[in-house]
Amino acid sequence: MREEQVAAQAIVDCSRRLHARGLIGGAEGNCSVRLPDGSMLITASGIDKATLTTFDVLRRHADGTEYHRTPQVGDLDDIASRDSGRSPSSEMQMHVGLYAARPDVCAIVHAHPPVATGFATAGRALQDDVLPEVSIVVGPIAAVPYGRPGTAALWNAIEPFARDHEVFLLANHGVTVVGRSLSEAIVRMESVEQAARILLSAELLGGARVLSKDEVEVWRAMRRATAGSKVLS
């Protein structure tokens, strides 16, 4: 129970941080965490992320179905026993699909960072051969074709990229990132938006100068060797 409550509070903190930093607005975006038993905690649908509380975090089985558990004495804040009838995020299918495809992933964050989403809306990929931080912190970025939000079409569009990417630039929609933890996922999301801002600025100044192929490979190799651990700060 304690682990569930800690994870729920982490989702609240993540959602409020996304809102405070302008990466989502209003009820946009969604976050989830996979628990040790394979079930997940996920944000409820239609909740203003600036005012989200743990009562707006729902527990679901790995396949997205409602989680049932007989409440125990003293379970006054039992997430599983108080969310009956409420709806999880409309992007539940995306979360279910990503967790099934990626056993190493324990957290998923979806947001609408303005500049990165602008690249996605314009059909422009985010280069990974300009900024070393992109290779190390962000990792490979998939340019995902349009799939209607809130439907199986979105997961179908992501699925071909799911196993080999950490970041998904969703055409005409937003950005989804995965991580081994919620903290890793949100840092990745913030780094994606920061990279998009820098690349846009460089384009306005005449275009970014790309790193040499050898230099790019050095950073990519470093990422593979460190498996995403903190190398740059």
Which domains are seen in the chain, by residue range? 2-69+79-226 (3.40.225.10)
Average of per-residue pLDDT across 96-124 = 97
pLDDT at 53 over 80: yes
Give the separation between CA 184 and CA 198, rounded to whole angstroms: 21
Q: Parallel, antiparallel, or unpaired for β 141-144 and 167-170?
A: parallel
Average of per-residue pLDDT across 44-59 = 94
pLDDT at 216 over 80: no
Enter the pTM of the model: 0.88
pLDDT at 2 over 90: no
Q: Which two tokens stand for residue 53?
A: 């509380």
pLDDT at 72 over 60: no
Q: How confident is the model at residue 85 (pLDDT cuts 50, 70, 90)?
A: low
Q: DSSP character for 88? A: B
